[in-house]
Amino acid sequence: MAFSNITGQKQIKLRLAAEAQRRGSGAYMLSGPVGMGKRLIAEEFAKALMCSDAGADGACGVCTNCKYFDNFTTPDVTRVYEPSETKMIKVDFIKDNVVAESYLKPQFARTKTFIIDFDYLGVESQNALLKSLEEPKKDVVFILTSSNTDAVLDTVMSRVTEIKLDPYSEEELEQIVRANCPDLEDSKIKSAVYNSGRIPGKAISLAMEDSGVSLRHEINSIMIAMPESSYIDVLEDYLEVLNGFKDDAKIIASSILLFLDDAGRLINYPECRKINNEQDREAIENFVLTNKHITTLKLGRCTEAVNTFLRALEVNSNFDSTASAMLLRIHEELKK
């Protein structure tokens, strides 16, 4: 991957590629709202700094240093991203992993690079970095990112070169969304872009929702609740949810089938490594454990109900009646 693989931000990419070729030291602050692609650019810039043959498009992608970078095995790049257990990064972590580390020589590359997401740095941690930022050693580059520079100390801002990300054009946004959701229709891509406030991350998540990710999650919740549900729940609440997605009947069907497949796998192989709905795995495991009456035979009959639903819609049957027939059959099989 090189800079040309990142859509948009042409001027910034040219500038950073030139900086990487110059191999100077310094501290940069990439700023812009959440979802603008700051991290993507920061990573690509770091890779260009590592590369032994960086050109006008950044990293070459084939040298040993590029390989180390891609495999996260270079000791010359330190990433400080969101912490896993605390809300903010602890100041001691910054002292040990950034400040102390920045006095050491790079091992493989000519530059030692630190990528630091300032959204997770409180005042104390920022203060701990001041001296390092003021006089970076000649082979050290700091790439900082922030989605809110108002929360960054003035003393930090005065020590860094701020690079504000440029707005993306509509075309660029469409290209970004298409790359992430290749099967989505053009009209849905356009509407995701239109509602995104020109933020690519937001456009992608809207497009993904449109691709059925949120529908899948809703379907999973319905299926999980099915054993304890009443006819009224099924015919009123669940039917209403399905009705809301009636234009995506195939996604409704495939979502239910994926759930049934997952439940079947977990009944037969509780330790199986991967299921379709990894994001809801715990809930589906719990569903299988607490509903011992549900057998693979019952799941198979639910699958038949879904296939009947699909066949009925192909001949243009009424959505309401076919969907309710399917839900009732599934309920009959799964209820306690």
CB of 59 to Zn ion, least distance (A): 5
- Taking the C-alpha atoms of residue 126 and residue 156, their distance in angstroms, rounded to an integer, is 7
CB of 60 to Zn ion, least distance (A): 3
- Contact between residue 301 and residue 333 where contact means Cβ atoms under 8 Å apart: yes
Total site size for Zn ion, rule CB under 5 A: 5
**Closest CB to Zn ion among residues 56, 100:** 56
- Taking the C-alpha atoms of residue 128 and residue 99, their distance in angstroms, rounded to an integer, is 8
SS3 294: coil
CB of 66 to Zn ion, least distance (A): 3
CB of 63 to Zn ion, least distance (A): 3
- Taking the C-alpha atoms of residue 64 and residue 316, their distance in angstroms, rounded to an integer, is 59
CB of 13 to Zn ion, least distance (A): 16
Please, what is the Cα angle at 288 between 309 and 272, to 5 degrees? Answer: 100
Beta carbons within 10 angstroms of residue 96's beta carbon: 11
- Taking the C-alpha atoms of residue 319 and residue 332, their distance in angstroms, rounded to an integer, is 20
**Closest CB to Zn ion among residues 51, 313:** 51
**Closest CB to Zn ion among residues 40, 60:** 60
x-or-dash string of contact with Zn ion, 208-237, rule CB under 5 A:
------------------------------
**Closest CB to Zn ion among residues 93, 108:** 108
x-or-dash string of contact with Zn ion, 65-94, rule CB under 5 A:
-x----------------------------
CA distances from 300 to 34, 89, 216, 226 (A): 44, 49, 19, 16
**Closest CB to Zn ion among residues 4, 158:** 4
**Closest CB to Zn ion among residues 2, 253:** 2
Restricting to residues 8-67, name those near Zn ion by CB under 5 A. 51, 59-60, 63, 66
- Contact between residue 6 and residue 37 where contact means Cβ atoms under 8 Å apart: yes
CB of 3 to Zn ion, least distance (A): 13
CB of 42 to Zn ion, least distance (A): 17
298-314 b/e with 16+ CB inside 10 Å = b? bbeebbebbeebbebbe
**Closest CB to Zn ion among residues 63, 267:** 63
**Closest CB to Zn ion among residues 58, 136:** 58
CB of 292 to Zn ion, least distance (A): 56
**Closest CB to Zn ion among residues 21, 191:** 21
- Taking the C-alpha atoms of residue 116 and residue 77, their distance in angstroms, rounded to an integer, is 11
CB of 14 to Zn ion, least distance (A): 18
**Does residue 328 belong to the site contacting Zn ion (CB under 5 A)?**
no
- Taking the C-alpha atoms of residue 166 and residue 36, their distance in angstroms, rounded to an integer, is 9
- Taking the C-alpha atoms of residue 24 and residue 18, their distance in angstroms, rounded to an integer, is 10
- Taking the C-alpha atoms of residue 320 and residue 2, their distance in angstroms, rounded to an integer, is 51
Two tokens, residue 318: 């009424």
Summarize as ranges the residues that interact with Zn ion (CB under 5 A).
Answer: 51, 59-60, 63, 66
